Amino acid sequence: MKATDARSLHGQVVRELGTRIVSGELKPGDVLPREDALAESMQVSRNALREALKVLSAKGLIEARPKTGTRIRPRDAWNQLDADVLSWRCATMPTDDFIEKLGEMREIIEPAAAAAAARRRTQTQLARIDTAYRQMEAARDTSEWAVADLSFHNAVLQATGNEMMISLFTVIESVLGMFFVLSAQTAGDFKYSLPHHHKVLDAIRRNQPEVARKAMQAMITDSRANLEKRRKKGVRKAS
């Protein structure tokens, strides 16, 4: 689902209320104030508020009930893959929690995607993966690296020819970019994972699905281990 344009008035209301719900400031079961009172407190028109509430309802965050008002829905009712909900959750959840959950999702999806890309890729798709790899090689700082890294993984998913996998990337793109920035900043050498990427590229080039699968799995495992070292180091410093 496409992210809400936060520049519009009702988009600003969506973002503010959505963030308050996802962060836990507004808890499941809580009832929102009456429309007139909520609109006044947020300094918006009732029309803008109503539009925002419709958007939040479509995302599964709230529901309006006759006589009882608008209530915050349980977390398991939220559309967790909605672009806005995912972004708000990642911005408000603890960093370690975000890393763990995104890492689990990557382990499920990306090795299979690499294997599919090795089976189905076209020459044009292979060229895009190769170009992204060359951009990673040429990166001068962590920001350039993260952008190129994201392009690499996007190109691999595009090469699967699986529309559902490709659509999933558009949802997780922003949070995956955050993950790559954090991973690069944590490593002493932000290009430490370049050999893993080369193995994935080479396996896809040679049409070797299982080799590509294992290479991608090794890359993700190594990235998670690197970030786990960061977490433990932070714990030691805090103690």
Q: How many distinct structural domains can be found in the chain?
A: 2
Say yes or no: 72 and 124 in one domain. Answer: no
Say yes or no: 43 and 125 in one domain. Answer: no
Residue 4 lies in a domain: no
Say yes or no: 219 and 132 in one domain. Answer: yes
The domain boundary residue, chosen from 48, 77, 106 = 77
- Does 62 have pLDDT greater than 50? yes
Say yes or no: 188 and 148 in one domain. Answer: yes
The enclosing domain of 220 has a CATH number of 1.20.120.530
Say yes or no: 108 and 205 in one domain. Answer: yes
Q: What per-residue confidence (pLDDT) applies to 228?
A: 75
**Does 80 or 186 have the greater pLDDT score?**
80
**Does 147 or 233 have the greater pLDDT score?**
147
The band of 230, judged by pLDDT with boundaries at 50, 70 and 90, is low
How does 106-129 read in b/e, with b if 16+ C-beta sit within 10 Å? beebbbbbbbbbbeebeeebbebb
Say yes or no: 148 and 192 in one domain. Answer: yes
Q: What is the pTM of this model?
A: 0.72
Nearest Cα to Cα of residue 102 among 26, 174, 165 = 174
Mean of the per-residue pLDDT values of the chain: 86
Q: What per-residue confidence (pLDDT) applies to 236?
A: 47
Burial, 9: exposed, middle or buried (Cβ in 10 Å; 0-12, 13-18, 19+)? middle
Q: How many CB atoms lie under 10 A from the CB of residue 42?
A: 17
pLDDT digits (tens, 9 = 90+) for 136-187: 999 998 889 989 999 999 999 999 999 988 887 777 776 777 777 777 766 6
Say yes or no: 124 and 226 in one domain. Answer: yes
Say yes or no: 126 and 177 in one domain. Answer: yes
Say yes or no: 102 and 64 in one domain. Answer: no
Say yes or no: 59 and 123 in one domain. Answer: no
Say yes or no: 24 and 117 in one domain. Answer: no
What range defines the domain where residue 123 resides? 94-233
The band of 54, judged by pLDDT with boundaries at 50, 70 and 90, is very high
Say yes or no: 171 and 219 in one domain. Answer: yes
**Does 73 or 182 have the greater pLDDT score?**
73
